[in-house]
Amino acid sequence: MEKKEKIIIVLCVIATIAAGILHYSGANEIVGFFVAAVALALLAMIVGDATEQLGSRLGPGATGILQSSLGNLPELFVSIFALRAGLANVVQAALIGSILGNLLLVFGLALFLGGLKNGTQRFKSEPPKMIATLMILAVAALMIPTLAKELHTPAESHINNLDIFCAVILLVLLGANIYFSVKGDAAVVPQEKEMGHAEWSLGLAIGVLAGAGVGAALVSDWFVAALEPMMKTFGLSEAFTGLVIVAIAGNSIENLVGIQFAWRNQADYAVSIMLNSSLQIALGLIPILVLLSLFVLGGSVLTLVLPPLLVAALALATIVSAFVVYDGESIWLEGLALIGLYCIIAASFWWG
Amino acid sequence: MEKKEKIIIVLCVIATIAAGILHYSGANEIVGFFVAAVALALLAMIVGDATEQLGSRLGPGATGILQSSLGNLPELFVSIFALRAGLANVVQAALIGSILGNLLLVFGLALFLGGLKNGTQRFKSEPPKMIATLMILAVAALMIPTLAKELHTPAESHINNLDIFCAVILLVLLGANIYFSVKGDAAVVPQEKEMGHAEWSLGLAIGVLAGAGVGAALVSDWFVAALEPMMKTFGLSEAFTGLVIVAIAGNSIENLVGIQFAWRNQADYAVSIMLNSSLQIALGLIPILVLLSLFVLGGSVLTLVLPPLLVAALALATIVSAFVVYDGESIWLEGLALIGLYCIIAASFWWG
Amino acid sequence: MEKKEKIIIVLCVIATIAAGILHYSGANEIVGFFVAAVALALLAMIVGDATEQLGSRLGPGATGILQSSLGNLPELFVSIFALRAGLANVVQAALIGSILGNLLLVFGLALFLGGLKNGTQRFKSEPPKMIATLMILAVAALMIPTLAKELHTPAESHINNLDIFCAVILLVLLGANIYFSVKGDAAVVPQEKEMGHAEWSLGLAIGVLAGAGVGAALVSDWFVAALEPMMKTFGLSEAFTGLVIVAIAGNSIENLVGIQFAWRNQADYAVSIMLNSSLQIALGLIPILVLLSLFVLGGSVLTLVLPPLLVAALALATIVSAFVVYDGESIWLEGLALIGLYCIIAASFWWG
């Protein structure tokens, strides 16, 4: 294990314990919220690292399955606790916010910083385009229930059934996607460049993953519990809280790792990481949560009928990032424009 | 004439006669509907073959004109009979459904099956991109009347005039498109690869075409007559019937032929066939039917003001398929995602 | 100075004087309107020439700054006078109309005429794609306030603040864009091909620019004053007047110059000019006018909340032209389709 990784784990353990103390003592919910958010972001990074290490022990096929099933573990826990707390609006916004955060904010930062350091960056290889295409297809599918509802079609009164059908199709595509990456076609699955990682032993990888998983489940609970007091204190809307704060804590931070690839002029790989994370949310996390909330969880139901502005923002972000990827070259100006678009979308959800 | 072609013609004659008997005897409208649907699909295939054979006798210029004017003959007849029967909603859905069927279902099947057999498929040549671009332009033009109506602009109360103007512009583009293919610029018009067809004599081609044309006119009448009883029996909505059933019987089946090109790893040509068929509907069949329904036919008027969800589905399908084409490479997973999107769109029209 | 340039200046002086006489004598407002429109279009051409000449004296960095700040001077003046006359609807339509005019009409004419003369045209270099990508990003940002308003989100009641935020972000991107072109990265900034211009002296360039600037300020006033009588006489709607007539007089005519590059088979440069002009409007002219109208000018306020059909037309035009650019090749048929789409959009605003 590298020194950097050890530091992150130590920091994470401290943050987790602190978050627990703050939660159970009921001392200060606002401080508790931010400590839990930091712990969650660190846990997301550790889960990502441990999944990768475990994958590299088990072969490329297993990596695909592991990353798809475990990569979004912290968000899954947060979403489940939030749904049980009746915060379906926050969860909807957080799921779309995770995608927007990856496609606009993190991707924008990668192009901006990478472009400033390396000048014009080229991504000529096929994986980024392919993932962008799949992302467009997934988002198009995700949009149908909202359109059917908002445009007052006859399907409006059967929207639960349409949601379920849509979720099942998305999960079929997720399964096909996992099967595809397990087969390991080098033309599409991004090949990780050597980053000089010290390899973990199998036991260590499993142990860290299990520990981080348990930690994520605990911290998610405390994070969600502190969410409503925090929103009240700062006067934040549910939509803004989900879209920006929960999304960044739960997903986007972990993808900041991708930025270092852009910094090292490995733009292709950076792009693949960010797009792939978004694709896992669209094909996996969202339909799984829809089905869980309908059939397993108590609490409020997560529907694919999103607020129309959220769907519009999702569509814009997907098309815009696809054009940036298809361009084949990028400059820091494009990165800045992506960040600008993210800020404008976030601002439009500011008021509650 | 090849053996396969002979078999199709024999089957078609049998189906046509059976459909006629079922129609005039009034025996069983549901069986009659399905027999007529099979006859119609076979007639569409034969019209396609005969047009191609006649074209190859008359030169590439004539082929373009013939394919544009006769290629959609069965759909034209079905649409005319359905409009006269007051089924404008079914016709609208069937026309858009033909485009969706080509861009998502048939294209998806081609990429899925071709990809499973041949691995990553490349379409690097220019024709598919060019046709995709023209398709986007045509769809953008087609969307304006619906937008003008649904967004309650002042044009709302002059929508018939806007329809006519829009239809005339689309027909001008159709004319330009035919002129372009007659000039035979090899960079854009897809060149048919040798498929080992035995050539028909001129007389045979004309005879088959004339016979299939008469057959299509007759069967279309019976098909439309059995449409309403079928919808009632199965409880299908007008929109779903048009979008899926009429569209597949009248247009998509014929394009299944394109799938065999993908199977033989001639992805460029397969893509060109499917996109071109959609373009002919958007530039030709739709504006012609709008003008015919306004000035010639009795019965209900076909307007370019479509149900908003239909326009949204058309826009999504066009953008999505354009990105797949522009990608330059495809994998079976993209094909599967296209099929999945088709299923979700079809499902959203299921309820009446 | 070339003979052609001298003729334009002489014509412009005559048109300006005639427009002034017609304005102050109150003789015939309709004739006055058209003379002022001609003078305005000529002034826009001269401002463009003089900016370029001044830039070539001061180096490529200065050219970028000058073109961004002065290139749209005539439109800026017209918009200011029209806002003070309470014609915010006309100004909104004219700004979007300038973008549509460039992306569809002028771009379409360039591809159509260039394609007829030169056959298939290729634009393989990077600048057109990059500018198209930035244009998509800018348009996505511009769409958010309208979406937030029309979809009745909570931001609806804070739309002025969202407008200001959005305008500031766009101006930051404008600044970054100017900085980028000042640094003169050859990969993105279009390099002007030698056109055999005689170079002007520094004094001449400044003098012509100052003269044209004063002329533009005067003529804009007269043009706006004659706008309402003209609209009444011909029964034109505010939206159509802005979208087509004001936009073509104030911006599009000047870009007709770009068509000669397409004619000379320099499609890359022609495309860059037209897209860049649109980008300057989206990133510069629009946010500047929004802020001016809120904080400096009297009269009506320019908001980023546009009529929905205008936003839809802007989105369609941007996506469509981006696909044409990304295609990498173009034929005259695509140019014709772009022109056709422009006509249909214009027609949908015909009724008042």
- Quick: pLDDT tens for B259-311: 877 888 777 778 888 888 899 899 999 999 999 998 887 778 899 999 999 99
**Alpha-helical regions (H) of B184-201:** none
Say which amino acid occupies A23. H
Per-residue pLDDT band for B61 (boundaries 50, 70, 90) equals low
Distance (Å) from the C-alpha of residue C210 to the closest C-alpha of chain A?
Answer: 32
**Could you tell me the pTM of the whole model?**
0.91
In this complex, do A345 and C144 lie within 8 Å of one another by their Cβ atoms? Answer: yes
Residue B287 CA to residue B173 CA, distance in Å, equals 11
Higher pLDDT pick, A67 / C152: C152
Indicate the angle between helix axes B202-225 and B3-25, nearest 10 degrees. Answer: 30
Q: What is the pLDDT of residue C187?
A: 46
Average pLDDT over residues B19-39: 88
The whole-angstrom distance between C146's CA and the closest CA on chain B is: 13
Task: Kindly determine whether residue B134 and residue C323, on different chains, have CB atoms separated by under 8 Å.
Answer: no
Q: Kindly report the nearest CA distance between residue A79 and chain B, in angstroms.
A: 25
The secondary structure of C104-138 as a DSSP string is IIIHHHHHHHHHHHHSSEE--SHHHHHHHHHHHHH
Give every CB contact of residue A348 below 8 A, 6+ residues apart in sequence: A309, A313, C144, C145, C147, C148, C153, C155, C162
Contact (CB<8Å) A348/C177: no
Put simply, the answer to whether B151 touches C312 (Cβ < 8 Å) is yes
Find chain C residues with C-beta within 8 A of A333's C-beta: 134, 173, 176-177, 180, 188
Give residue A52's pLDDT band: very low, low, confident or very high (50, 70, 90).
confident
Prediction ipTM score: 0.90
How crowded is residue B202: how many other Cβ atoms within 10 Å of its Cβ?
12
pLDDT digits (tens, 9 = 90+) for C194-246: 444 557 888 888 898 899 889 999 999 999 999 888 999 999 999 999 999 99
Q: Provide the pLDDT confidence category of residue B192 given band limits of 50, 70 and 90.
A: low
Instruction: Please indicate if any CB of chain C lies within 8 Å of the CB of B134.
Output: yes
Neighbours of chain A (3+ CB pairs under 8 A): B, C
Please tell me the predicted confidence (pLDDT) of residue A121.
84
Strand (E) or helix (H) holding A330: strand A329-330
Residue C159: per-residue pLDDT: 92
CB contact at 8 A, A334 and A111: yes
Q: Which of B157, B165, B177 lies nearest to residue C333, judging by beta carbons? A: B177
Summarised one tens digit per residue, pLDDT across range A110-146 is 999 998 988 888 877 778 888 899 999 999 999 999 9
- pLDDT bin (cut points 50, 70, 90) of residue B66 is confident
A167 touches chain B (CB under 8 A): no
Q: Which residues of C touch A347 (CB under 8 A)?
A: 162, 165-166
Find the CB nearest A316 among C126, C134, C140.
Answer: C140
User: Could you say which of A324, A333, A348 has the minimum Cβ distance to residue C144?
Assistant: A348
Q: Which chains touch B (3 or more CB pairs under 8 A)?
A: A, C
Report the alpha-carbon distance of residue C302 to residue C76 in Å, rounded.
13
Query: In percent, how much of chain C has pLDDT > 90?
Result: 45
The CA distance from B179 to the nearest CA of chain A, in Å, is: 32
pLDDT band at C252 (very low <50, low <70, confident <90, very high): low
Percentage of chain A beyond pLDDT 70 is 92
Residue B160 contacts C, CB cutoff 8 Å: no
Instruction: Report the candidate in C211, B273, B119, C181 with the shortest Cα–Cα distance to residue A333.
Output: C181
**Least Cα separation, residue B30 to chain A (angstroms):** 25
Neighbours of chain C (3+ CB pairs under 8 A): A, B
| C-beta atoms of B309 and A176 within 8 A | no
Closest CA in chain B for residue A145 = B348
Q: Which residue has the tokens 């044309």?
A: B213
Give, for B122, the enclosing helix (H) or strand (E). Answer: strand B121-122
- CB distance from A126 to chain B under 8 Å? yes
- In this complex, the residue of A137, A148, A188 whose CB is nearest that of residue B331 is A188
Reference A148, options A327, A331, A304; nearest CA is A304
Higher-scoring residue by pLDDT: B251, B46: B46
Which residue out of B306, B321, B323 would a mutagenesis test of the A interface target, given it has the greatest number of A Cβ atoms within 10 Å? Answer: B323
- What pLDDT digit, counting tens, does each position of A172-224 carry? 999 998 888 777 654 444 555 444 455 788 888 889 889 988 999 999 999 99
Lowest-pLDDT choice from A304-308, C14-18, C48-52, C83-87: C48-52
CB contact under 8 A, C129 and A329: yes
Contacts of B158 in chain C (CB under 8 A): 350-351
CB contact under 8 A, B348 and A148: yes
A348 touches chain C (CB under 8 A): yes
Is the CB of B337 less than 8 angstroms away from the CB of A138? yes
Instruction: Tell me: pLDDT of A225 over 80.
Output: yes
Of C136, C154, C180, which has the smallest distance from its Cβ to A351's Cβ? C154
In tens, the pLDDT along B103-144 reads 999 999 999 999 888 888 887 767 888 889 999 999 999 999
- How many residues would you count in chain C? 352
Q: What pLDDT was estimated at residue B352? A: 76
Whether the CB-CB separation of A107 and A271 falls below 8 Å is answered with yes
CB contact under 8 A, B309 and A147: yes
Contact check, Cβ <8 Å, C326/A326: yes
Q: Which of C120, C314, C333, C345 to mutate to test the interface with B (most CBs of B within 10 A)?
A: C333
C159 to chain A, any CB pair closer than 8 A? The answer is no
Q: Which helix (H) or strand (E) holds C329?
A: strand C329-330
Residue B187 pLDDT: 46
**pLDDT interval class at C162 (50, 70, 90):** very high
Q: What is the pLDDT of residue B193?
A: 47
Residue C193: pLDDT above 60?
no
Q: Tell me which amino acid residue A8 is.
A: I
Q: How far is A315 from chain C (nearest CA, A)?
A: 10
Does residue B41 surpass a pLDDT of 90? no
A333, A343, A345: best to mutate for the C interface, most C CBs within 10 A: A333
CB contact under 8 A, C147 and A312: yes
> Are B344 and A130 a contacting pair at CB < 8 A?
no
Least CB–CB distance from A333: residue in C141, C151, C177: C177
User: What is residue B329's DSSP assignment?
Assistant: E
Between B153, B176, B187, which is nearest C348 by CB?
B153
Q: Which residue of A has its CA nearest to B344?
A: A166
Question: Long-range contacts made by residues A40-43, C-beta under 8 angstroms, separation at least 24?
Answer: A40/A74, A40/A78, A40/A216, A40/A219, A40/A220, A40/A223, A40/A249, A40/A250, A41/A248, A41/A249, A41/A250, A41/A253, A41/A254, A42/A8, A42/A11, A42/A12, A42/A15, A43/A12, A43/A16, A43/A74, A43/A212, A43/A215, A43/A216, A43/A219
**Chain C residues closer than 8 Å to A341 by CB:** 137, 140-141
What values do phi and psi take at C329, rounded to 5?
-135, 150
Contact: C136, A307; criterion CB under 8 Å: no
**In angstroms, what CA-CA distances link A13 with A50, A203, A214, B22, C133?**
15, 19, 12, 77, 44
Query: Chain B window 288-327: which residues touch A at a Cβ cutoff of 8 Å?
Result: 307-309, 312-313, 316, 319-320, 323-324, 326-327
What pLDDT, in 10s, does the model give residues C41-81?
888 888 888 887 887 777 666 666 777 677 788 889 999 99
pLDDT at B186 over 60: no
Average pLDDT, chain B: 86
Token pair in block for residue A82: 């939030």
Task: Tokens for C230, please give them.
Answer: 């003209």
Is residue B252 predicted with pLDDT exceeding 70? no
